[in-house]
Amino acid sequence: MATFEPALFARINKPDSASLKTYQADGGYSRLKEFLSMAPGDVTNIVKDSGLRGRGGAGFPTGLKWTFLPKDHPGPIYLAINADESEPGTFNNRYLMELDPHQLIEGIILACHAIRSQKAYLYLRYEYGTSYRVLDAAIRECRAAGILGNNILGTGVSCDIVLHRGAGAYICGEETGLIESLEGKRAWPRIKPPVPAIEGLFRKPTIVNNVETLCCVTQILYRGTEWFKSIGVPPDPNNPRDPGSYGPKLYCVSGHVNRPCCVELPLGVTARELIEEHAGGVWKGRRAKAVVPGGISMGFLSASELDTKLDFAGPGKVGCLGLGTAAVVVVDDQTSMVDVLYNCCRFMSHESCGQCTPCREGTAWMTKILERIRTGQGRTEDLDLLMEVAGSMGIIPGTTICGLSDGAAWPVKNAISKFRPEFEEYVRSRRATVTSAQQLMAVH
Amino acid sequence: MSVLSEELREKIRAEFPKYPNKRAVTLPALHLVHDTLRAVSREAIVEIAELLELHPAEVHDTMTFYNFFKDETNPLGRHRVWFCRSISCMLRGGEELLETVCHKYNVHPGETSPDGRMTVEFAECLGACEGAPCILVDDVCHMNVNPASASALIDKL
């Protein structure tokens, strides 16, 4: 562990880290010509062999995704870069875009070559104005240097990047919602199949990859698959379906810690280590009551689960939805879980796209039920009602098109099952503060 | 008399070559119009639709999906200030910050201050959780903001 050297973040503390000059001084783009001379399938195979899994939240193997493209398609084929980073607690892609845009651009060029695409659309959330300006400048530098555009560095390979700004909607981070939004429509996720690799942006084969994933592609090409596989957690030998959790990961730590941060570490670090060793511990000398392992959609770890390894498999072993974006949010022991859960539900209700009824209605009603509890008009039965609503929405029960709904249900399921006594006590003590007439009015 | 100036139309047309069809220019066009005119009016929607060869209802549908674009009944002030209310900011005083600012400037989220200086909004996660609570002034993020520093920023707008 002590020997771990950041790769994705190797440059971010250097002066002028975002410039082409700084990137090239570190060897950036030095082997681009060589890589673009390789057969596209060979680049895909390197990424496949590395075991890289998508960093955007779902953890799907990147190289495998690329192989879903139809063979011998006449084109165009598109790459869409998901830079709509909006999962609460998550800000790692912002670091990568603002502080080292060329690492990302090189990853985009390499991925485009692998999938035989000449055009990449980078869907950037509107709120990242600084990222937009840094990327725009970096893309111009590349065009001027012949690194983007037609016939890159004389290799005969062409690739260009279009920056496309969103308009403040979380659902655009869902890959088919992103595609619809890019096409100029409301961001309603599409029913799959067909997966985007078969029919995506502008009805053409499309690969959607996250910013950090593409930065990993650059590092894998330069440092090799053996380097990548020497970091992280190998597959569980007792689980033939586990592809493992290889490589470095950017972990975000925020909330009630002394030093909120974004830190690069091998996949598999524990929540406790992140909080204690990298984020300066829980603030004000308090203890952690609950910890979000990977953005609020993933649910909560309880105080007794802080030794959970934050690799792709770890959070699921203690009832969370998954690793998600590896955004860790710490909640201290002086904070009410009702308030925390209410905040999560309000977010999901605001951001549900409204296409699927169980999600649109479920997120809204869960928020209303928690509002009622907070005003002292709740009943302990409401906790069961919340669990019932949460259990009825999402891809897992098969009632919605996309996973936003599963991510809306999970914090409810985790909070109420792991912190039920606190919720019950809250309901009782708040009820005592209002009159029976008010309680009756709330029920009927 | 058209709502969109020739200059604005040229900026919208300049987006066309980036995409295989004009419909994909809907969001870029809405941003350009919204930034310049501080609202996207019904008339502007019709003119955008003409430029993009769409039905106005299609532009309206996309525009209203994103809780981002103001119409002519509620135009933006000279600046737009977003206060993050999502979890990391909430845990470090984001909601209290928004409340304090709203009281001080006599404005509710979604409204514009009486002097037209700023439109205040609540935001869902701004992606700057290491600097919670954070705010976005137009599209520039400010971190570790408290009521005093927020007021100082706003007073300089």
pLDDT tens, residue by residue, B104-143? 999 999 999 999 999 999 999 999 999 999 999 999 999 9
Of A88, A162, A340, the CB nearest to B18: A162
Residues of each domain in chain B carrying CATH 3.40.30.10: 79-155
Q: Is the pLDDT of residue B154 over 90?
A: yes
Question: What percentage of chain B exceeds 70 in pLDDT?
Answer: 100
For residue A434, what pLDDT is reported?
A: 81
- B chain contacts of residue A89, beta-carbon cutoff 8 Å: 87-88, 125, 129
A316, A405: one domain:
no
**Amino acid type, A307:** D
For residue B1, what pLDDT is reported?
A: 77
For residue A436, what pLDDT is reported?
A: 73
The pLDDT-based confidence of B55 (bands split at 50, 70, 90) is: very high
The answer for residues whose C-beta is within 8 angstroms of residue A379's C-beta and 6 or more apart is: A427, A431, A443
Measure in Å the smallest separation between the Cα of B21 and chain A Cα atoms.
8
A220, A265: one domain:
no
CATH of the domain at A87: 3.40.50.11540
Sign of CA pseudo-dihedral A436, A437, A439, A444: positive
A167, A274: one domain:
no
Of A130, A184, A256, the CB nearest to B26: A184
- B chain contacts of residue A343, beta-carbon cutoff 8 Å: 85-87, 90
- Residue recorded with tokens 């980078």: A122
A435, A321: one domain:
no
DSSP class per residue in A267-308 = TT-BHHHIIIIIS-SBGGG--EEEEESSSGGG--EEGGGTT-
Measure in Å the smallest separation between the Cα of B2 and chain A Cα atoms.
23
User: Which residues of chain A carry a pLDDT beneath 50?
Assistant: 1, 444
Helix (H) or strand (E) holding B135: strand B135-137
| CB within 8 Å: B124 and A86 | yes
A369, A396: one domain:
yes
| CB within 8 Å: A129 and B138 | yes
A421, A376: one domain:
yes
A167 Cβ under 8 Å from any chain B Cβ? yes
Residue pair A109/A152 in contact by the 8 Å Cβ criterion: yes
Whole-angstrom Cα distance, residue B92 to residue B94? 6
- B chain contacts of residue A184, beta-carbon cutoff 8 Å: 23-27, 52, 62
**CATH code assigned to B6-65:** 1.10.10
Q: State the residue range of the domain holding A289.
A: 245-332
Whole-angstrom Cα distance, residue A148 to residue A388? 52
For residue A124, tell me if it sits in a domain.
yes
Q: Which of A306, A332, A358 is the last residue of a domain?
A: A332
Q: How many CB atoms lie within 10 A of CB A28?
A: 21
Note if the bond before A193 is cis, omega within 30 degrees.
Answer: yes
A251 Cβ under 8 Å from any chain B Cβ? no
Measure in Å the smallest separation between the Cα of A291 and chain B Cα atoms.
11
Q: Please, which residues 305-364 of chain A have a Cβ atom closer than 8 Å to chain B?
A: 327, 329, 331, 335, 339-340, 343-344, 347, 350-351, 353
**Amino acid type, A136:** D
| CB within 8 Å: A329 and B82 | no
Both structure tokens of B40? 């996207």
A85 Cβ under 8 Å from any chain B Cβ? yes
Closest by CA position to B124, among listed B84, B69, B87? B84
Q: Is the pLDDT of residue B72 over 80?
A: yes
For residue A218, what pLDDT is reported?
A: 98
CATH of the domain at A419: 1.20.1440.230
For residue A444, what pLDDT is reported?
A: 47
* DSSP assignment letter at A209: E
A203 Cβ under 8 Å from any chain B Cβ? no
Q: Which of A230, A256, A276 is the last residue of a domain?
A: A230
Whole-angstrom Cα distance, residue A359 to residue A402? 10
Note if the bond before A61 is cis, omega within 30 degrees.
Answer: no
Residues of each domain in chain B carrying CATH 1.10.10: 6-65
Q: Which of A118, A130, A183 to mutate to test the interface with B (most CBs of B within 10 A)?
A: A183
For residue A441, what pLDDT is reported?
A: 65
B81: closest chain A residue by CA: A127
Q: In CATH, what is the architecture of B79-155?
A: 3-Layer(aba) Sandwich (3.40)
Reported ipTM: 0.97
Whole-angstrom Cα distance, residue A389 to residue A360? 12
Q: Which of A77, A99, A164 to mutate to test the interface with B (most CBs of B within 10 A)?
A: A164
A207, A253: one domain:
no
Whole-angstrom Cα distance, residue A362 to residue A349? 8
For residue A1, what pLDDT is reported?
A: 47
List residues of B whose CB lies inside 8 A of any A CB: 18-21, 23-28, 30-31, 52, 58, 61-62, 65-69, 82, 85-88, 90-92, 123-132, 136, 138-141
- Residue recorded with tokens 């860790």: A328
